[in-house]
């Protein structure tokens, strides 16, 4: 018999932590009420606010799951989440950053991409007209632009300052002349790059709000409150133990080895992933109707790095099982197309080169490993979070060692090291026979380069041998062995003729 007060919540029990995805507008964000209220008040009062934080603090979740609701209660109408991440096209006669924001604002499924020459004012007026036509508001609605990941405009093309300046000029003019407010969200390590553009914006972006990581008490509430809503008691000692684990970080100071220290904060992203994975493991071991999470569960199921890595592996394996897609090619696509060589998130329009690719990317998105952004008629894919970069790389490395041939692992190492010839296979290490149809593009290029290197090495070996012979012959002649040298030269010529005839 169940304890009193442990009946399943309305709608049935579910995992209360969102894991790697951000909180959306239909979600309830736990324990950020104060921050949401403060940021909303600042937006209303100052018109333009720069929201900044370290990566992983939850800027997007705060705005989408809390601030948007607060603004709506104040009579404002927030836009969808907008970004300025469209790469410039060579020879294009329009501003790519303006067009990126416009397409996010006006995109609808299967809709036409907005005209490339549409400016921000026209786009906002069109969006407001669409809202009025749907009966959501009137012509005097107070629009709030939600511009996320503003750092992208700084890193897509660092040399394109003129286009960036035109974008900020146009944005500033819109904010000064229309009933439009804005919250601009940026990773704080990129804030310095905005200095040359703030003069174009109202208030010079003096109104700023910093979102920090969770302190210990907020982190404990982020564990215990969602569990309680599912009628599960997350013991206080267990929450303390998990916070202790989540506050351990590794740092490296100049001239010293990496060291493990205790941080005064918890990263929300890691908390969500670890708790979600722990809930799944407890359910698998004890059944879905478990009532408590104790210290033993934290000890057995709450390893942070393992949780992130296992999450990646489980998601990919599930997609492969459902679609029969090529796991090798999916993993290579995630690592090579969605992660840069500088270990930053990247975006791509392409899908993995495998059967059932369309279905596979949909399932990867449903598993929150990747996110799909619709811009006009184009869909761009990216990882859902920066913290997944190392997890993807670790999961892929483990999978390669368990599933690939040594030469395939060598192909990967060759590719990530800028295809340096030193990582090519030697002649005796080349696979004797294989079907090229199932290989990745990197493996095909690796084998081709290794084979070319083998032929080149063979030619160089023969040339070196001939040069050595002629050097020996010259030395023998100097010592007076003319007859012996003549005989050796005749033998070499005969051998060369035989080789040519055989070819």
* Helix H or strand E segment including 248: strand 248-251
Long-range contacts of 96-105 (CB under 8 A, 24+ apart): 96/163, 97/153, 97/163, 97/164, 97/167, 98/166, 98/167, 98/170, 100/375, 101/147, 101/167, 103/375, 103/376, 104/80, 104/373, 104/375, 105/79, 105/80
The reported pLDDT for the residue numbered 136 is: 56
SS3 for 234? strand
The reported pLDDT for the residue numbered 99 is: 93
* Helix H or strand E segment including 314: helix 304-323
- Point out the least confidently predicted range of 253-262, 309-318, 489-498: 489-498
Distance, CA of 500 to CA of 487 (rounded, Å): 20
The DSSP line for 199-210 is: GGSGGGG--EEE
- Point out the least confidently predicted range of 117-131, 137-151, 335-349, 475-489: 475-489
Instruction: Please list, in sequence order, all residues whose beta carbon lies within 8 angstroms of the beta carbon of residue 78, skipping any fewer than 6 positions away.
Output: 67, 68, 71, 72, 143, 144, 146
The reported pLDDT for the residue numbered 459 is: 44
Higher pLDDT, 10 or 288: 288
Distance, CA of 423 to CA of 412 (rounded, Å): 10
Half-sphere exposure of 175 (CA within 13 A, CB side): 25
Closest CA to 334 of 319, 318, 321, 316: 316
The DSSP line for 132-180 is: HHTTS--TT-EEEEEE--TTHHHHS-TT-HHHHHHHHHHHHHHHHHSSE
Q: Cα–Cα distances in Å, from 469 out to 171, 223, 466, 477, 485?
A: 75, 78, 5, 12, 10
Higher pLDDT, 102 or 424: 102
With tokens 């060759």, the residue in question is: 414
| 8 Å CB contact between 71 and 144 | yes
Residues 150-163: tens digit of each pLDDT: 998 988 888 889 99
Residues 110-144: tens digit of each pLDDT: 667 888 889 999 999 999 988 876 655 555 679 99
With tokens 């079907």, the residue in question is: 435
Average pLDDT score over the chain: 83
Q: Hey, how many other C-beta atoms are within 10 angstroms of the C-beta on 170?
A: 18
| Local confidence band at 428 (pLDDT 50, 70, 90 cut-offs) | low
Apex CA 176: angle with CA 175 and CA 180, to 5°? 35
Distance, CA of 114 to CA of 103 (rounded, Å): 6
The reported pLDDT for the residue numbered 341 is: 79
The reported pLDDT for the residue numbered 49 is: 98
Residues 434-472: tens digit of each pLDDT: 554 567 788 888 888 877 776 555 544 554 554 455 555
């Amino acid at each position: 018999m169940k304890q009193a007060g442990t009946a399943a919540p309305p709608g049935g029990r579910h995992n209360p932590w969102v894991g790697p995805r951000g909180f959306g507008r239909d979600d309830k964000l736990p324990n950020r009420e104060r921050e949401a209220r403060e940021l909303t008040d600042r937006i209303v009062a100052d018109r333009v606010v720069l929201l900044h934080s370290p990566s992983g603090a939850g800027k997007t979740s705060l705005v989408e799951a809390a601030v948007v609701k607060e603004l709506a209660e104040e009579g404002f109408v927030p836009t969808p989440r907008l970004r300025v991440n469209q790469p410039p096209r060579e020879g294009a006669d329009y501003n790519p950053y303006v067009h990126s924001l416009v397409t996010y604002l006006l995109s609808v499924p299967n809709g036409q991409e907005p005209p490339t020459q549409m400016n921000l004012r026209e786009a906002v007026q069109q969006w407001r007209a669409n809202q009025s036509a749907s009966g959501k508001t009137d012509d005097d609605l107070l629009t709030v632009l939600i511009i996320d990941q503003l750092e992208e405009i700084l890193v897509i093309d660092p040399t394109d300052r003129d286009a960036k300046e035109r974008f900020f000029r146009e944005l500033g003019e819109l904010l000064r002349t229309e009933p439009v407010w804005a919250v601009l969200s940026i990773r704080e390590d990129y804030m310095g790059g905005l200095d040359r553009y703030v003069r174009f914006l109202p208030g010079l972006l003096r109104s700023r709000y910093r979102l920090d990581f969770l302190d210990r008490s907020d982190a404990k509430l982020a564990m215990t409150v969602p569990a309680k809503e599912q009628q599960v008691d997350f013991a206080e000692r267990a929450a303390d133990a998990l916070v202790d684990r989540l506050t351990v970080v590794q740092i490296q100071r100049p001239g010293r080895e990496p060291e493990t220290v205790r941080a005064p904060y918890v990263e929300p992203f890691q908390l969500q992933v670890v708790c979600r994975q722990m809930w799944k493991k407890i359910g698998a071991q004890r059944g879905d109707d478990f009532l408590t999470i104790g210290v033993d569960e934290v000890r057995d199921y709450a390893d942070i790095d393992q949780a992130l890595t296992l999450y990646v592996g489980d998601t990919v394996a599930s997609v492969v099982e459902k679609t029969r897609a090529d796991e090798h090619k999916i993993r290579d696509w995630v690592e090579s197309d969605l992660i840069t060589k500088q270990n930053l998130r990247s975006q791509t329009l392409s899908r993995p080169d495998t059967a059932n690719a369309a279905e596979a990317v949909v399932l990867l998105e449903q598993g929150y490993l990747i996110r799909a952004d619709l811009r006009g008629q184009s869909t761009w894919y990216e990882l859902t979070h920066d913290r997944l970069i190392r997890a993807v790389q670790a999961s892929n490395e483990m999978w390669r060692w368990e599933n690939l041939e040594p030469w395939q692992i060598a192909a990967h190492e060759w590719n990530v090291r800028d295809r340096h010839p030193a990582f090519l296979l030697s002649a005796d290490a080349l696979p004797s026979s294989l079907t090229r149809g199932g290989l990745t593009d990197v493996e095909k290029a690796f084998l081709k380069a290794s084979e070319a290197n083998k032929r080149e090495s063979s030619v160089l070996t023969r040339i070196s041998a001939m040069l050595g012979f002629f050097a020996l012959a010259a030395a023998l002649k100097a010592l007076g062995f003319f007859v012996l040298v003549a005989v050796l030269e005749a033998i070499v010529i005969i051998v060369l003729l035989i080789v040519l005839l055989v070819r």
